[in-house]
C-alpha cells in the first residue's frame, strides 16, 4: 500500500499532479494575501474615518446614510468588544476566586501537615520515653530475678549447713 502510493507519486503523472497542486496552492496563497492586504487597508480607512468623525463637533456631523452605516457598524463593534470585555472580566473574577480557594486549601493542608508533624514528634517522644521506661523496668526485673536467685541459693546453702 505505502510502496504503491509512493510509486504513484514518483511516476510522471504523479509529478505532474503534484506540480499542478503546488501551482494551485501558490495561487490561492497569493489571492488570500491580496485579500488580506485589501482588508487591512479597508480597516485603516474605516479607523481614519472614525477618528475624523470623532474629531468633528457633533453639530457638524452629517446625517448621510453612509455615515449612519459606518456609525452603526462601529457601534456594533463597540458592543461586541464591550461584551467580550465583560466576559473576560468575569473570567478573571472566576480565576481570582479559584486562586483564593486554592491558596486557602494549600494553607489548610500546610496547617494539617504541621499538626501531624507535631503529633508524630510527640508520639515519637512518648515512644522514646516508653522505651526508656521499658528498658528501666527490664533492668529492675533482671535485678529482681538475680536477687531472687541469689536468695534461693543462700536459702539452699543454709539448709545444707543446718543439716
Q: Cα dihedral sign for 20, 23, 27, 33?
A: positive
Whether residue 107 is predicted with pLDDT greater than 80 in this model: the reply is yes
Q: What's the Rg (C-alpha) of the chain?
A: 47
Q: Decide: 71 and 61 in contact? Cβ < 8 Å.
A: no
Identify the residue with better confidence: 133 or 60: 133
Select, from the ranges 8-17, 108-117, 139-148, the one with the highest average predicted confidence (pLDDT): 139-148
Residue whose C-alpha cell reads 452603526 in the numeric block: 72
Report the greatest alpha carbon distance in the chain.
Answer: 145
Instruction: Return the SS3 of 64.
Output: coil
pLDDT digits 0-9 by tens, 52-103: 877 876 554 455 456 677 777 778 888 888 888 888 888 888 887 888 888 8
Q: Tell me the domain boundaries of the chain.
A: 1-61
At residue 27, the 3 state secondary structure works out as helix
Per-state percent for the chain, helix, strand, coil, to nearest 5: 95, 0, 5
Note the pLDDT tens digit of each residue in 17-37.
Answer: 888 888 888 888 888 888 888
Amino acid at each position: 500500500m505505502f510502496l504503491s502510493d509512493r510509486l504513484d507519486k514518483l511516476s510522471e503523472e504523479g509529478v505532474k499532479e503534484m506540480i499542478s497542486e503546488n501551482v494551485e496552492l501558490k495561487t490561492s496563497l497569493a489571492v488570500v494575501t491580496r485579500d488580506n492586504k485589501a482588508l487591512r487597508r479597508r480597516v485603516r480607512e474605516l479607523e481614519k474615518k472614525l477618528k475624523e468623525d470623532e474629531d468633528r463637533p457633533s453639530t457638524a456631523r452629517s446625517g448621510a446614510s453612509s455615515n449612519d452605516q459606518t456609525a452603526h457598524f462601529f457601534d456594533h463593534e463597540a458592543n461586541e468588544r464591550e461584551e467580550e470585555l465583560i466576559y473576560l472580566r468575569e473570567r478573571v473574577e472566576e480565576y481570582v476566586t479559584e486562586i483564593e480557594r486554592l491558596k486557602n486549601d494549600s494553607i489548610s493542608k500546610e496547617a494539617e501537615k504541621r499538626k501531624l508533624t507535631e503529633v508524630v514528634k510527640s508520639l515519637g517522644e512518648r515512644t522514646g520515653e516508653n522505651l526508656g521506661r521499658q528498658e528501666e523496668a527490664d533492668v529492675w526485673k533482671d535485678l529482681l530475678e538475680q536477687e531472687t536467685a541469689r536468695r534461693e541459693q543462700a536459702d539452699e546453702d543454709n539448709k545444707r549447713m543446718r543439716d
